């Protein structure tokens, strides 16, 4: 009789909790929270870092901690709650930030073991992203305006250097001239040095000269797709405190006979 009564009470309680809160408490994992590192996106919106992390059944409360990127880190909590994302806004221009995700279960505190890295920029990622790999290369058939973020952190001496992959279709026995021009250079005359390098797949990388053509040859008797990448030339560009976003235009200037 007692067993029947207990079963009935349990069933009533489970059915009466429309938000399943009792069921969640009853069947909740006994495991401690796992250690997690947030994902940070610094170029979705100006002067903003978007952060997200995974759900964790063993966690009651998430605490997102932030520090300036200094030799000695000093963290403060910028978000506390049960959510799995946070938008860190109105950040100081060109400042770099270090994030850590801590977790609480009951009275136990679990401090994160790895960092996420973010920075404040007045640029957004270009519309061709993600094209950081050959497999995601952007087809170049008209002028494309792009940018490349380059960041050097003091923390763990971490570097973030973007690269952009492109491809171009070249008819048989033809040459494609690719022209790259960097924006906001002090010396923007044709042939001037830039902060960019270009590498055609299968060839050595070369420094990009402002508005000077890089030729890609197709000596075959069929139309082929050729791949190349553009990436930062960091010599003279970066130091320990810099956040640089290189803006440039890449163009298929002309296709001529081989």
Burial class (CB in 10 A: 0-12, 13-18, 19+), 77: exposed
Measured CA to CA, the distance from residue 191 to residue 116 in angstroms comes to 39
Measured CA to CA, the distance from residue 151 to residue 200 in angstroms comes to 25
For residues 101-111, average pLDDT: 97
Q: Which CATH superfamily is domain 28-119 in?
A: Immunoglobulins (2.60.40.10)
pLDDT, residue 44, reads: 92
Q: What residues does each domain of the chain span? A: 28-119, 134-257
pLDDT, residue 3, reads: 54
Under 8 Å between Cβ of 197 and 165: no
Task: Find all residues with CB under 8 Å of 113, minimum gap 6, and list them.
Answer: 35
Regarding pTM above 0.85, the answer is no
Under 8 Å between Cβ of 25 and 44: no
For residues 180-187, average pLDDT: 93
For residues 43-62, average pLDDT: 96
Per-residue pLDDT band for 70 (boundaries 50, 70, 90) equals very high
Per-residue pLDDT band for 107 (boundaries 50, 70, 90) equals very high
Q: Please, what CATH class does the domain formed by 134-257 belong to?
A: mainly beta
Q: Enter the tokens of residue 186.
A: 């002090």
pLDDT, residue 203, reads: 95
6 pLDDT more than 90: no
């Amino acid at each position: 009789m007692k067993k029947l009564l207990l079963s009935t009470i349990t069933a009533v309680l489970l059915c009466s909790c429309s938000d399943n809160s009792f069921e969640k408490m009853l069947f909740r994992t006994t495991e401690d929270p796992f250690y997690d590192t947030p994902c940070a996106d610094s170029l979705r919106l100006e002067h903003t870092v978007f952060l997200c992390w995974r759900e964790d059944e063993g966690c009651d409360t998430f605490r997102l901690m932030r520090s300036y990127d200094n030799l000695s880190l000093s963290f403060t909590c910028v978000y506390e709650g049960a959510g799995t994302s946070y938008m860190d806004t109105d950040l100081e221009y060109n400042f770099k930030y270090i994030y850590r995700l801590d977790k609480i279960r009951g009275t136990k505190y679990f401090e994160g073991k790895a960092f996420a890295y973010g920075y404040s920029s007045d640029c957004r990622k270009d519309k061709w992203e993600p094209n950081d790999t050959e497999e995601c290369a952007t087809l170049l058939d008209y002028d494309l305006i792009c940018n490349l973020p380059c960041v050097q952190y003091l923390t763990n001496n971490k570097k973030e250097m973007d690269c952009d992959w492109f491809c171009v279709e070249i008819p048989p026995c033809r040459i494609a001239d690719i022209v790259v021009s960097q924006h906001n250079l002090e010396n923007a005359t044709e042939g001037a040095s830039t902060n960019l390098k270009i590498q055609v797949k299968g060839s050595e990388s070369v420094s990009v000269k402002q508005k000077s053509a890089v030729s890609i040859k197709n000596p075959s008797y069929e139309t082929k797709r050729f791949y190349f990448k553009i990436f930062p030339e960091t010599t003279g560009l970066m130091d320990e405190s810099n956040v640089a976003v290189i803006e440039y235009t890449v163009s298929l200037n002309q296709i001529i006979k081989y």
